[in-house]
Amino acid sequence: MRTGAVITAAGKSSRMGSFKPLLKIGSLTAAEHVIQTFHAAGIRDIALITGNNAEELESHLKHLSIVFLRNNQYECNEMFDSVKIGLNYQKDICDKIIFSPVDVPLFTVNTIKAILKCNADIGIPTYKGEKGHPIILGSNAVGKILKYSGSGGLRDAIVNLSLEIEHIETEDQNILFDMDTQADYTEIVHLYDAH
């Protein structure tokens, strides 16, 4: 059983005002945190979807042995389009695919290990009942998501595709924290520094 990962990092970071993947949290950037957590959990097949500032991001991460895939339409399409680029690439390589946006940077290795045990079509980690990232997709889910053409992105695809979903309770509150705004980023840095 081979598991890979898809990380989306193509967006314009318009609400943040700064380029999210390269924002520092401690000594590492957000993108490095996500990739290194996957590596620490034994995930080697990692595809990062770039778009905005692609060359700068790819140059920054080229030492980490990952595959870069470009979403050249990032200015006019949605994150779901980046998800599909990554899933389409990984579907013939991996039996399961873990997906995370780059702006959820601090989930733990234990969370990855917990969702790897999931045998449902989709595994979603929760903290005190609240859903977060990363999620894990089995091959049945990947095939259906790639064919889905409705609106509402990945979340609506999951709801509308009659897939078996398992919610996996974790002790990892970091699955809930994404960096959409400067206030979010400040909170994440404080959380990281407090550990």
pLDDT confidence of residue 33: 98
Which residue pairs from 151-158 have beta carbons closer than 8 angstroms and sit at least 24 positions apart in sequence?
153/78, 153/79, 153/80, 153/83, 154/79, 154/80, 154/83, 154/99, 157/80, 158/122
What are the structural domains of the chain?
3-194 (3.90.550.10)
* pLDDT at residue number 151: 78
Those residues of the chain that have pLDDT short of 50 are none
User: Please, are residues 179 and 23 in contact by the beta-carbon 8 Å criterion?
Assistant: yes
In the prediction, which pLDDT does 94 show?
Answer: 96
* Angle ∠(159,77,163) on CA atoms, nearest 5: 15
Q: What's the pLDDT score for residue 18?
A: 84
CA distance linking residue 4 with residue 112, whole number of Å:
11
